Structure 1
Amino acid sequence: MSDKHLSTQFDSDLRGASARVMELGGLVESQIRQAVYALSQFNAEAASKVLETEQRVNAMELDIDRELSSIIARRQPTARDLRLLIAISKTTANLERVGDEAAKIARMVRSIIDSGASRSLPASELRLAADLASELLRRALDAFARLDTEAALAILKADDQIDQEFDGFVRKLITYMMEDPRTISASLDLLFLAKAIERIGDHAKNIAEFIIYVVMGADVRHASMAEVESALRQEGR
């Protein structure tokens, strides 16, 4: 078998694995949309749909992991190809965890509905942060499909906005509980909801960092923003 034929097969394997990640990403995005709707409307049916999707997300993660293991064993990739496969594996794991966060939101929404406290809590203020997190994940997946480092950098910066929304909501929630101690239990549920939303943004940020790793071969997970920007400028020269 010619080297060119082997290379063509390997490229096909890489495209197939990348396509599977995008498929998983689309499924997880639908989970988030349902979870955000369930939260904003306190809709139990939408929450149940999120939980129904959870098993499909978990099964896809396992399928992609098996596919990646097979590719590595058969092709023995090196350099950028190996980095891409590692990044696909890590992105898959992060997407599965985003699905877990969406399921967590759905379960908490159902708990708040069951408690009868849904009408009196300021859950609508979480909608902005949830929409920001959902949009950030969509942008991260789009950037990953194109291996766009500039888009990845923009995502790293945008994650700070979600963190600010989370901090502001926590302050408001503490005030709310102080004014009416009867809402403490349900308010704590909202606090965990806010944290789940923040974590979705964190996973989108992780995916952006994997893009930079694939393209540049640099691990920027613990680098400052200035260091990341400097590395990208050097790469562009």
Structure 2
Amino acid sequence: MPNNKIGGHYSQAYDEELQQAVMRLLQMAGLAQQQLSDALTAFTSADLALAKQVKAADRKVNNFEVDISEHCLDILARRQPAAGDLRLVLAVLKSINDVERIGDLAKRIGKVLLKEEPGNRPQQSQLDELAVMGQKALQMLQRALVAFEKIDADEALDVLREDRAIDDDYARIMQQSLTMMMHDARQISISLQVSHVAKALERVGDHARNICEHTIFLSKGRNVAHLSDDELQQVVDKKRD
């Protein structure tokens, strides 16, 4: 559905080009979300065939990035957007980079399984923890994309704070993996698998947070990279001049 916050020009074609940039981003993100979900399912269930599909799907996500980038560059060259239109194009360009990286991280999770030695599987409790962490990352990504689509700075701020829970999960899993390796050298290979997957999920949370920051930039007209959560709150609360 077209966003009435986007466009409003005399040229309907221009409005459609801006809307299309956002819709393509959301389509690309949908592929990356499915890729990540499949990667988690593959790893936790030892589904080698699905892991190979995850690896192959990365090309589609990459092709989307190229297509959207070219579309946005064409808008910049032909339309010479300003103010909110310019911020929209820049926010889409930044966001597709984050989505592409999420696709890469999903592929990395699939490759961890494909490189796994037969019979060298994590314990069910470890797999369960990764599954919970993965669902948090997927939910955060979904909510971040909804906030972007609505250009909702308040929602984006709420979502980016969810990254703390993912970071906490990562720290706990890494500590557990380190403890297991120190007490039993036979656990080193398994613990490294778990650590690699946990790190990938932690990075997914970071990229989802970035998308939220792009949304705040789009809504409020201020670059908010590297700001603390309290500083972000002040930006979101401040009305545009």
Alignment TM class, shorter chain as reference? over 0.9
Q: 1:189 aligns with which of 186, 193, 198?
A: 193
Are 2:122 and 2:191, in contact at CA under 8 Å, matched by a contact in 1? no
Q: In structure 2, what is the Cα distance between the partners aligned to 1:152 and 1:120?
A: 36
Match of 1:231 in 2: 235
Cα shift at 1:118: 1.1
Amino acid at match of 1:183: Q
Match of 1:146 in 2: 150
Q: In structure 2, what is the Cα distance between the partners aligned to 1:189 and 1:119?
A: 8
Are 2:220 and 2:240, in contact at CA under 8 Å, matched by a contact in 1? no
Q: In structure 2, what is the Cα distance between the partners aligned to 1:98 and 1:204?
A: 9
Matches within 5 A, 1:166-181: 166-181=170-185
Amino acid at match of 1:224: S
- Structure-1-length-normalised TM-score: 0.94
Match of 1:108 in 2: 112
RMSD of equivalent CA atoms: 1.7
Q: 1:49 aligns with which of 40, 47, 53?
A: 53
Runs of 4 or more, structure 1, over 3 Å off, are none
Match of 1:202 in 2: 206
- Structure-2-length-normalised TM-score: 0.92
Match of 2:4 in 1: none
Amino acid at match of 1:98: I
Match of 1:96 in 2: 100
**1:77 lines up with 2:116 in the alignment:** no
Q: 1:117 aligns with which of 120, 143, 150?
A: 120
- Normalized per residue, the structure richer in helix is 1
Q: In structure 2, what is the Cα distance between the partners aligned to 1:216 and 1:123?
A: 40
Identity of aligned residues (%): 35
Structure 1 stretches of 5 or more lacking a match? none
Q: In structure 1, what is the Cα distance between the partners aligned to 2:179 and 2:9?
A: 66
Are 2:39 and 2:109, in contact at CA under 8 Å, matched by a contact in 1? yes
Structure 2 stretches of 5 or more lacking a match? 1-7
Amino acid at match of 1:153: L
Describe the superposition over 1:148-181 as per-residue Cα deviations: whole angstroms up to 9, x where unpaired.
1111001121101100000011111112212221
Describe the superposition over 1:45-102 as per-residue Cα deviations: whole angstroms up to 9, x where unpaired.
2211111111111111101111111111110000110011000001011100000000
Amino acid at match of 2:121: S
Cα shift at 1:189: 2.2
Amino acid at match of 2:103: G
Q: In structure 1, what is the Cα distance between the partners aligned to 2:38 and 2:24?
A: 21
Cα shift at 1:186: 2.7
Q: In structure 1, what is the Cα distance between the partners aligned to 2:208 and 2:9?
A: 36
Match of 2:3 in 1: none
Q: 1:86 aligns with which of 87, 90, 94?
A: 90
Cα shift at 1:119: 5.2
Are 2:147 and 2:155, in contact at CA under 8 Å, matched by a contact in 1? yes
Q: In structure 2, what is the Cα distance between the partners aligned to 1:226 and 1:141?
A: 22
Describe the superposition over 1:85-138 as per-residue Cα deviations: whole angstroms up to 9, x where unpaired.
0000010111000000000000001222x3421154723221111110011111
Amino acid at match of 2:146: D
Cα shift at 1:31: 0.2
Match of 2:35 in 1: 31
